[in-house]
Amino acid sequence: MTKVVLITGADGFVGQHLIKYLAGQGFTVLAASRSLPKARREGIKHIRVPDLARRFDWRSLLSQCDAVVHLAGVAHRSASELSYNLVNVQGTALLAQAARDAGTKHFVFVSSIAAQCGSFSEQPQSEDCLPRPTNAYGRSKLAAEDALRATGVPHTVLRPVVIYGPGERGNFALLSRIARLPMPLPFGSLNAPRSVLSINNFNSAVDFVLTSPQTLGETIIVSDPSVVSVAGMLATYRVALNRPPNLLRVPDKWIETLLRSFGYRAAWERMGAPLVATPNKLMGMGWQPVHRNFSPIPTSVPT
């Protein structure tokens, strides 16, 4: 079993959860990030590293560990192509090369479903589908995957769908705030199936990959086994808050027309269009998810 693992991007939403989970599973975690937390936890050693756009000598850290989980990267929609290339592609390639030279046994690259498809897909997605990223972020993640493979380091590529959990950001944080509004919501007709991923399932998937040699050399989608719709997510959030769903069935075409007329086409594609990418391959390898269905936990950012 892998005992010492280097986690990059340890100060992000996903990283904060993952380092604590792996430490709780008995790993010794080297948590690399641009900032250091005030709190300390047994089994976790926090290490400050520069932005991945700058060159950094990883050798001293890699010499201490058996495996790497590479989370760090740029995901901002406003980032430039240059920034995506420097951090997501070149930064990943340099770290993977250093890991290969250090004899790292397993490099787990956390890519994204965006490397495979856009924010929606009329057809279900699997690892056998031809990658067709539709934005600069997705293209940079796909290029980083290719750069990683070219180094020859023992690796696994994970393509998680959008992740939710305590401290969640982006669309999930917005949905959570909307669900808390003390009024009926006009989203009862938004029933397009979407694949999502709980942070608990993500953590357990990384643990499974780190301890499962059969995942080496594989590219794997990570998601909850069951799909959910925006209407279903809002209803579940409200039930978790001890409130009735209270969703009104306004025609989805009205919502689509309204969003598109105000320039929110991308928001509609993430809300009203389908994206199904199930973890059949990962489960076929033996992974057992913690949650099978959308299971939000309405709490604060982890400390």
CB atoms closer than 10 angstroms to residue 21? 18
At 198-250, the pLDDT tens digits run 999 999 999 999 999 999 999 999 999 999 999 999 999 999 888 899 999 99
Residues 287/211, Cβ–Cβ less than 8 Å: no
Does residue 146 register a pLDDT over 90?
yes
Does residue 267 register a pLDDT over 80?
no
Residues 175/296, Cβ–Cβ less than 8 Å: no
What single DSSP character describes residue 86?
A: I
Q: Is 178 exposed, middle or buried (0-12, 13-18, 19+ CB in 10 A)?
A: middle
H-helix or E-strand spanning residue 28 = strand 28-33
Percent of the chain at pLDDT > 90 equals 71
Q: State the average pLDDT for the chain.
A: 91
Q: Which two tokens stand for residue 278?
A: 């199930």
Q: What's the pLDDT band for 2 if we cut at 50, 70, 90?
A: low
Look at residue 246 in the predicted model and tell me its pLDDT. Answer: 93
Does residue 275 register a pLDDT over 70?
yes
At 119-132, the pLDDT tens digits run 999 999 999 999 99
Does residue 302 register a pLDDT over 60?
no
First-to-last alpha carbon distance for the chain, in angstroms, is: 28
Q: Can you tell me the mean pLDDT for 85-114? A: 96
Q: Which residues contact 153 (CB under 8 A, 6 or more apart)?
A: 96, 97, 99, 100, 104, 107
Among 48-52, 160-164, 262-266, the range scoring the smallest mean pLDDT is 262-266
Look at residue 303 in the predicted model and tell me its pLDDT. Answer: 37
Q: What's the pLDDT band for 77 if we cut at 50, 70, 90?
A: low
For residues 96 and 147, give the distance between their C-alpha atoms in angstroms, rounded to a whole number. Answer: 8
Axis-axis angle for helices 230-240, 170-179 (nearest 10): 60
Q: What's the residue count for the chain? A: 303
Q: What's the pLDDT band for 300 if we cut at 50, 70, 90?
A: very low
Query: What is the distance of C-alpha 53 from the center of its chain?
Result: 21
For residues 194 and 125, give the distance between their C-alpha atoms in angstroms, rounded to a whole number. Answer: 11
For the chain, list the domains and their CATH numbers: 1-303 (3.40.50.720)
Backbone conformation region of residue 193, classed left if phi is above 0, alpha if psi is from -120 to 50, else beta: beta
At 43-73, the pLDDT tens digits run 899 999 988 878 889 999 999 999 999 999 9
Q: pTM (2 decimals)?
A: 0.93
Q: Which residues contact 84 (CB under 8 A, 6 or more apart)?
A: 74, 136, 137, 139, 140
Does residue 8 register a pLDDT over 90?
yes
